[in-house]
Chain A
Amino acid sequence: MRSFFILFRKELRSFFLSPLAFVLMALFVFLNGWLFSSLVQAMRAAVSSRSLIYNLFDSGWFWMGYFILFPLITMRLFAEEKKLGTLEGLLTAPVRTAEVVLAKYFATVVLYAVLLLPIFGFFALFQKVTGTGAAFHSGAFWGSALALLLIGLFNIAIGVFASAVTSNQLIAAMITFVGVMLHYFLGFLHQFLTTPGSMWTSTLTYFSSIEHMHAFADGLIDTRPIVYYLSLAALLLALTHHVLEYRKWRA
């Protein structure tokens, strides 16, 4: 446990001492700020039955920027250590492989949370400035935050895994991007493949991030996505652990 915190601190440090975190943060604030303000304008022009939060997280523009985030924050985690050879020094120190994996994972989760914070700042600021309570209710606010956290936990686990299987950061980034996008599009598959109301529709809906987001952004906390994302993340982290241990036995 002690080693975990030392490693966790070191990872966080290397995130925030490099320009990457700040460049990403600036880009992300700019992108979402623009989206946010155009959304407010659009909602003023035409009546919407949905809240501001629902509309923002329903927008394809948001997801586009969002998915580029994961390859960028996870690609260097293990790939860089493998390329530099520092993994050898790290794993011959008296630390457990699991501690290394978890430290890198949770440090990235913290970075992710910090990067998303401004979006929720926009909402809070909007409410404060305009004084309208009608834009959204607190259930939508906390619900969508929770949904983003869950989806993030899962997507970061994909990135950690991809980074562990290769020593090339670009390949890690591509695997992550494809993995993340594939899962997201799985949620749209039912619109093309099946007739509405069939068993396939309900099954595929279960994987659909956008559907989960819709429910959470309406303030409806569903436990099924919570279990779904957490268990997938745990599975991917266990696989990452195995990939790292495999180096010992490979012939």
Chain B
Amino acid sequence: MIHVSHLTKRYAGRTAVDSISFDVGRGEIVGFLGPNGAGKSTTLRILTCFLSATEGSATVAGHDIFKESIQVRRKVGYMPENVPLYTDMRVNEYLRFRAQIKGLGWRESRRAVDEAMDICALTEVSKKLIGTLSKGYRQRVGLADALVNKPDLLILDEPTNGLDPNQIRQVRELIRQLGERHTILISTHILHEVEMTCGRVIIIDRGRIRASDTPQNLVRRLRSAGTVNLEVQADPDLVVAEVAKLPGVVSAKHTDTRQEWASIEIRTETNLDVREELFDLIVKKGWPLRELSRHQASLEDAFVDITHQTANEDSPS
């Protein structure tokens, strides 16, 4: 559905997107993840033919984005960041206009608008001026606009930006439903969203792709997948020394020195649970125990880890 190869966008003295390549297959829901200013929006704007790339090439739905821009735009439903809308139009009027400039006929567009408003739960506000709607409704108007002509591909730039938790949940649910019929590329910096909805994640930072995998694999690959926290009442140095002897333990560190209790952070080999062995050790030594927990890594850890790593690599030291 999308094929990007060595796409580069340079602004004066700054490379926003640096030779990125990736593919998105038909029917996939792909999350485009990165910190603010990583080049997500720029990439999406290039794919939707709003900007041109400095170098590289890309095809969307089989059409070259530079040479066949009109065909590409016909197949893509795009929701720009912050959802710009004509505030002086009514919801149905606006969607009707959008459906028509996307090539739907007069009668066709009426049906398509009704359907899109139904999917996005907009029917009750269809006669309201867009300017009077709340942020959540506007977001849904933008979404309805993106899918009104049933495009093959939906490109959504931060679709849940600025919504409250309930609305985020609604939009996320909507996206998941849409994923049954469309290929979707979502950009976001909200990790939870990606974990819940996307089959694959592309992490981009400083204009480069740092990782591209399923959320589960990303988490599994992570160092912190094998972290155990331990809090006992004993001499910290002794505990560290004893724990380090256990098989599978990579390192043990005394973290919080202010407390009377020794709190130890233990790194193990990936995907190895050493809690049983630890428990045996504690019982044998007779240390009073307050905490023994294995840190369950989330995508957030993966994200922080990956983007943090690159930040260290890139900064001159």
Residues of A within 8 A of B (CB): 3, 6-7, 10, 14, 17-18, 84-89, 91-96, 247-251
Q: Which of B11, B71, B87, B101 lies in contact with A93, CB distance below 8 A? A: B101
The secondary structure that dominates the A interface is helix
Given known contacts A85-B82, A85-B84, A86-B85, is B11 in contact with A94 (CB within 8 Å)? no
Query: How far is the CB of B199 from the nearest CB of chain A, in Å?
Result: 25
Query: How far is the CB of A251 from the nearest CB of chain B, in Å?
Result: 5
Residues of B with C-beta under 8 A to A91: 49-50
Complex formed: what's the CA distance from A91 to B45 in Å? 11
Given known contacts A18-B88, A85-B82, is B50 in contact with A92 (CB within 8 Å)? yes
Please determine whether B84 and A96 come into contact, CB atoms closer than 8 angstroms: no
Given known contacts A84-B87, A248-B52, is B97 in contact with A10 (CB within 8 Å)? yes
Complex formed: what's the CA distance from A92 to B52 in Å? 12
Complex formed: what's the CA distance from A237 to B85 in Å? 25
Please determine whether B101 and A3 come into contact, CB atoms closer than 8 angstroms: yes
Number of interface residues of B (CB under 8 A): 31
Please determine whether B98 and A93 come into contact, CB atoms closer than 8 angstroms: yes
Complex formed: what's the CA distance from A86 to B102 in Å? 15
Residues of B with C-beta under 8 A to A6: 97, 100-101
Q: A89-B98, A92-B73, A94-B73 are in contact. List 8 more A-B contacts (CB 8 A).
A: A3-B101, A17-B88, A86-B85, A91-B50, A92-B49, A94-B102, A95-B101, A248-B51
Q: Report, nearest first, the 5 A-B pairs whose CB atoms are least far apart.
A: A85-B84, A248-B52, A94-B73, A94-B74, A92-B48
Residues of B with C-beta under 8 A to A14: 86, 88-89
Query: How far is the CB of B159 from the nearest CB of chain A, in Å?
Result: 14
Q: Which residue of A lies closest to B103 (CB)?
A: A94
Residues of B with C-beta under 8 A to A249: 52
Residues of A with C-beta under 8 A to B84: 84-89
Whether a CB of chain A sits under 8 angstroms from the CB of B303 is no
Q: Which residue of A lies closest to B85 (CB)?
A: A86
Query: How far is the CB of A125 from the nearest CB of chain B, in Å?
Result: 35
Q: Which residue of A lies closest to B51 (CB)?
A: A248
Complex formed: what's the CA distance from A7 to B84 in Å? 17
Query: How far is the CB of B164 from the nearest CB of chain A, in Å?
Result: 22
Q: Which residue of B lies closest to A250 (CB)?
A: B11
Residues of B with C-beta under 8 A to A94: 70-71, 73-74, 101-103
Q: Which residue of A lies closest to B145 (CB)?
A: A89
Q: Which residue of B lies closest to A245 (CB)?
A: B52
Complex formed: what's the CA distance from A94 to B54 in Å? 22
Residues of A with C-beta under 8 A to B98: 89, 93
Q: In chain B between 179 and 225, which residues have their CB closer than 8 angstroms to a CB of chain A?
A: none
Query: How far is the CB of B116 from the nearest CB of chain A, in Å?
Result: 15
Given known contacts A84-B84, A91-B50, is B12 in contact with A251 (CB within 8 Å)? yes
Q: In chain B between 59 and 99, which residues have their CB closer than 8 angstroms to a CB of chain A?
A: 70-71, 73-74, 76, 78, 80, 82, 84-89, 97-98
Complex formed: what's the CA distance from A84 to B138 in Å? 14
Residues of A with C-beta under 8 A to B87: 84
Whether a CB of chain A sits under 8 angstroms from the CB of B26 is no
What 1/0 flags go to B32-56 for Cβ under 8 Å of A?
A: 0000000000000100111110100
Complex formed: what's the CA distance from A94 to B75 in Å? 9
Complex formed: what's the CA distance from A131 to B87 in Å? 50
Whether a CB of chain A sits under 8 angstroms from the CB of B275 is no
Chain A to chain B contacts (Cβ below 8 Å), 27 pairs: A6-B97, A7-B101, A10-B97, A14-B86, A84-B84, A84-B86, A86-B85, A88-B84, A89-B80, A89-B84, A89-B85, A92-B50, A92-B78, A93-B73, A93-B98, A93-B101, A93-B102, A94-B70, A94-B73, A94-B74, A95-B101, A96-B70, A247-B51, A248-B50, A248-B51, A249-B52, A251-B12
Residues of A with C-beta under 8 A to B85: 84, 86, 89
Complex formed: what's the CA distance from A14 to B51 in Å? 27
Query: How far is the CB of A85 from the nearest CB of chain B, in Å?
Result: 3
Whether a CB of chain A sits under 8 angstroms from the CB of B10 is yes
Complex formed: what's the CA distance from A144 to B69 in Å? 44
Please determine whether B80 and A85 come into contact, CB atoms closer than 8 angstroms: yes
Residues of B with C-beta under 8 A to A96: 70
Please determine whether A251 and B101 come into contact, CB atoms closer than 8 angstroms: no
Residues of B with C-beta under 8 A to A18: 88
Residues of A with C-beta under 8 A to B71: 94
Complex formed: what's the CA distance from A84 to B84 in Å? 6
Complex formed: what's the CA distance from A10 to B96 in Å? 11
Complex formed: what's the CA distance from A247 to B52 in Å? 9
Which of B10, B54, B86, B88 has most A Cβ within 10 Å? Answer: B86
Which of B11, B12, B48 has most A Cβ within 10 Å? Answer: B48
Q: Which residue of B lies closest to A247 (CB)?
A: B51
Please determine whether A88 and B80 come into contact, CB atoms closer than 8 angstroms: yes
Complex formed: what's the CA distance from A35 to B85 in Å? 42
Q: Which residue of B lies closest to A18 (CB)?
A: B88
Q: In chain B between 81 and 137, which residues have their CB closer than 8 angstroms to a CB of chain A?
A: 82, 84-89, 97-98, 100-103
